[in-house]
Amino acid sequence: MSKNNFHFYVLTGGIKTGKSTSILDWTKKKENVGGIVQLQDGSKRFIVDVSNREKRELTSVNIENSIRVGKYYFGNDSIEWGKEILSAAVKRKAKFLIFDEYGISEFENRCFEPEISEIFKKIVGGNLSINCIIVVREKLLKQFIVKFGNQFKPIIIKSVEEIRLED
């Protein structure tokens, strides 16, 4: 039986408990990270590229070129930018791939789906040496495990400090 080179960690917790902020802070101490974190500032949401800290507004007032997610409209251009960041991180085989967050819209096959599932399949199928850290709210955790649990046996964590890898 061959060893998996990849690991999937699911960082979970309640709404507004600091998951995104803690993971962004954690990435500052790591080398070869890629992916995205979503942050909120007032009524605006942003995507941050964890590799270089570039930030773009995710929320949009242009309803025609956006996807409605709860009370927000997310701009298609920002979503596409986030997908490009994720794909580029896999292509360069980042040691850590961050995806914040797998939410309701992804379960509805919108926003970052189906692309994020394809990225997960590429990592598993190629047995790539990439450690994925996926943020999932507690109330969606069971649904996430049902969808992906058999594919990559995620390790559930409540804090990024729980990630233990041999460096």
pLDDT greater than 70 at residue 166: no
Phi, psi of 151 (to 5 degrees): -75, -45
As a whole number of angstroms, the distance between CA 114 and CA 129 comes to 22
Cis check: omega of the bond before 64, within 30 degrees of 0: no
Tokens of 7: 């690991």
User: What pLDDT is recorded for position 167?
Assistant: 41
Taking residues 129-144, report their average pLDDT.
Answer: 96
48-98 pLDDT per residue, tens? 999 999 999 999 988 889 999 888 899 999 999 999 999 999 999 999 999
Q: Could you tell me if 97 and 86 are in contact, meaning their C-beta atoms sit under 8 angstroms apart?
A: yes
Query: pTM of this prediction?
Result: 0.93
User: What pLDDT is recorded for position 112?
Assistant: 97
pLDDT greater than 90 at residue 160: no
Q: With bands split at pLDDT 50, 70 and 90, how would you rate the model's confidence at 161?
A: confident
In the chain, the domains with their CATH numbers are 7-39+46-54+79-159 (3.40.50.300)
Q: With bands split at pLDDT 50, 70 and 90, how would you rate the model's confidence at 147?
A: very high
User: What pLDDT is recorded for position 2?
Assistant: 62
Give CA 3 to chain center in angstroms: 24
